[in-house]
Chains A and B, each alone.
Chain A
Amino acid sequence: MKILDVLKYSGSSIKKQKGRSVLTILGVVIGITAIVALNSLSGGFQVAITGQLSQGLSANVLTVTPGGGFFGGGGTTTQLYISDVADVDAIEHVDMAIGVMQKQVTFPENLTGTIKNYSASVTCVDFSKYGQFYTTFSTASGIGSILNDNKSIVIGHGLYHPYAQNDSVLVPLGENITLQWRNGTGAYLTYSANVSGVLGEIGGFSLSGGPSDRGIFLPLEMGRQIFESDQLSTIVVKVDSSTKEVIDGVTAAIRSHFENGVSVLSSTSLLGTLNTALSTVSIFLTMIAAISLFVAGIGIMNIMTVSIMERTREIGILKAVGAKDRTILGIFLVEAFLIGLIGSLIGLVGGYVGAWLIGKILSAVMGGAGGGGGFGGGLSGGIMPVLGIDLILEAILFGVGIAVIFGLYPASKASKKPPVEALRYE
């Protein structure tokens, strides 16, 4: 029997049993929809997160922070000091190293008096070098300029135009702002400085040491004086190559210099960790979705078994007109195949549309909450589900595979019916 004729024949039987076929197909649709939605959505997350993370962060930049390891391992914690920067800078393959000092401060009030005791973090860095590490440390899309006069300060876009404060300007450009903080003995200290620039909007996350929308940036020397401290929160290191060997080598060298009391993170290792976490979640969710597809498979098996019983006589007729066992097997397998294919295609569209809707809802929710921190400016671009050709093929293959595998048993049973018995069947 020609394959086209088999398709037509099997198709006519699916069409004949409309209600039953729709229900069977629905099982596949639900499974594939779930798989496609979860996978394309987690793919979209991955793109959104890695995209924002890698913004302004090159692959050859390492951040050194006190404390042993990313997951809190390692017993001793080595503090970092301004004097350590030169040591790190001297390590082979290190292009440049800078110290970053971060402190928490509050503004007693803004100029118009509408905002009081607003807290923010201060990042003290060498302005001339910092921009070479982070392209986001720039006023190109912001206001004013970054002055290397060791006096003027720069603020993040979020402070100039904070989301949560009804558009009222917190820090005016060109004015002096007053910062207030507690020193080691608990007494309040204040300091006033001129704001020379506002950074362009960064959005997304801020890595430790990197610029953020809500940061205040002071020259390192000034920070050292006003906070009366040499202690750094981060040393940011630029390596002369972004190959894995060099990055691993430098990482090891820095670790051993600080006797493993620090953790060294590269943007690639951070992205890798995040991606692994996301993939794990995605695999887990896919497995849950696969269970529903498995249930759909059992449904297919059940319905085909019933359908074959009802069509015993038809099998007899086919055999009487000369159909071989494998022709009958083919007819029933093609039926299962068609059910799987139709279900997968509908599921693909359904899954993508579902993921798109969820992405819209999620980014709306997160965008609103973004002002509060964490996600920073929120995932402002929205989460676009990613539906690659591999996911499309996987979904179709999976849906069709389940249908055919579960159709195999009833189809083979049907094909083996002796013609005499099949023809006698009432």
Chain B
Amino acid sequence: MVDDYNEKVKESMRQEERSVPFASDYRIVLETKDLKKQYMQGKVVVHALRGINMTVEKGELMSIRGPSGSGKSTLLNMIGALDRPTSGTIILEGQNIARMDKNQLAEVRQRIGFVFQYFNLIGRLSALENVQLPLSVRGMPGPERKAKAMEVLDLVGLSDRIKHKPSELSGGQQQRVSIARALTQEPSFLLMDEPTGNIDTKTRDSLLQLIKMVNHEKKITTIIITHDAAVAKITNRQVYIVDGLLYNTEDEAIQAEMNYKAIEGENGNGTERKMEAGLP
């Protein structure tokens, strides 16, 4: 399988000029190798990611769980092509995006469907216009764009709310609009950052069902980054991030967290890092 994959990578490197490979060509959508990110906070170097190795297969519904400060958001920024890592590789459908420039990254983001905790819809635009935005940015003509947007709005069950502005929609509905927006550009994968973090528990369940349904129906790779065990539970695969490293089982993660706390205690820097609700 690994050889198979390597062949794919080589093949795509030979065809570097073909900048956007066909999504269907790749069984492995995303792979990171020894991904590291450091940044300066004042005069202190923060090692946010300390060597992340992960592989995401096509059609997967997976979650990355971790408490705040674990490096979750940094990882999201890296695989979402919003920022560049300090070292390591990020292979998105055979293309290493780790060393791309601003414009190339922008093009890569056209293949990623973001769903944010705070919805991030544009307030003055209607639901339909918001959903069309990624296509409009890509220069797709109006009628084609509208048809695609209508289709995904129908899928998320909002075909009767297309003219509504975000302020006229409930939290759950707004998040449905943002899922529709992420889907409309037929992305390589959906990247969700605490998708239910700003939604009441009752609405949360139906939204999670929607995410499951979309993954199933559209066969679309979905990565959910969350601290919430209830959210992670709906996914087929759960990985854990603690202090900038990824763990495949919860036990490993708990062990790592305890070690981490112990080291911090020894150093006596006194930083209280509470485990969030998700990790016991």
Contact = CB atoms under 8 A, between A and B. Distances in A.
Interface of A: 1-2, 5, 9, 12-13, 15-16, 313-314, 316-325, 327, 418-420, 423
B181 interface: yes
B77 A420 contact: yes
B122 A420 contact: no
Nearest to B181: A321
A316 B120 contact: yes
Contacts of A327: 137
Interface stretch (B91-99, B102-110, B219-227, B239-247): B102-110
B70 to A, nearest CB: 17
A1 B82 contact: no
Nearest to A314: B122
A1 B137 contact: yes
Contacts of A9: 136
B134 interface: yes
24 contacts: A1-B136, A1-B137, A2-B139, A5-B136, A5-B139, A5-B142, A13-B124, A314-B122, A317-B120, A317-B121, A318-B137, A319-B82, A320-B82, A320-B109, A321-B114, A321-B185, A322-B111, A322-B138, A323-B106, A323-B137, A324-B102, A418-B83, A419-B82, A419-B109
A313 B121 CA distance: 10
A407 B107 CA distance: 26
Contacts of A13: 124
A423 B137 contact: no
A98 B10 CA distance: 101
B116 interface: yes
Q: 4 tightest A-B contacts by CB?
A: A322-B110, A321-B134, A324-B106, A16-B124
A321 B107 CA distance: 9
B277 interface: no
Q: Which of A16, A314, A320, A324 has the most CB of B within 10 A?
A: A320
A11 to B, nearest CB: 11
Nearest to A16: B124
A20 to B, nearest CB: 13
Contact of B83 (A5, A314, A321, A420): A420
B109 A321 contact: yes
Contacts of B121: 317
A306 to B, nearest CB: 17
Given A313-B120, A324-B106, A419-B83, 13 more contacts: A5-B139, A317-B120, A317-B133, A319-B82, A320-B114, A320-B116, A321-B110, A321-B185, A322-B110, A324-B103, A325-B102, A327-B137, A420-B77
Given A322-B134, A323-B137, A423 B102 contact: no
A301 to B, nearest CB: 23
Contacts of B280: none
B125 interface: yes
A325 B142 CA distance: 22
Contacts of B133: 317-318, 321
Contacts of A1: 136-139
Contacts of A423: 82, 116, 120
A327 B77 CA distance: 21
A5 to B, nearest CB: 5
Nearest to A418: B83
Contacts of B125: 12
Contacts of A319: 82, 106, 109
A423 B139 CA distance: 23
Nearest to A320: B114
B141 interface: yes
B83 A320 contact: no
Interface string B111-130: 10010100011101100000
Q: Which of A13, A16, A321 has the most CB of B within 10 A?
A: A321
Contact of A325 (B106, B111, B114): B106
A326 to B, nearest CB: 8
A313 B138 CA distance: 20
Contacts of A12: 124-125
A6 to B, nearest CB: 9
Contacts of B139: 1-2, 5
Interface in B125-178: 125, 133-134, 136-139, 141-142
Q: Which of B83, B102, B121 has the most CB of A within 10 A?
A: B102
Nearest to B129: A12
A15 B77 CA distance: 33
Contacts of A325: 102-103, 106
A1 B132 CA distance: 12
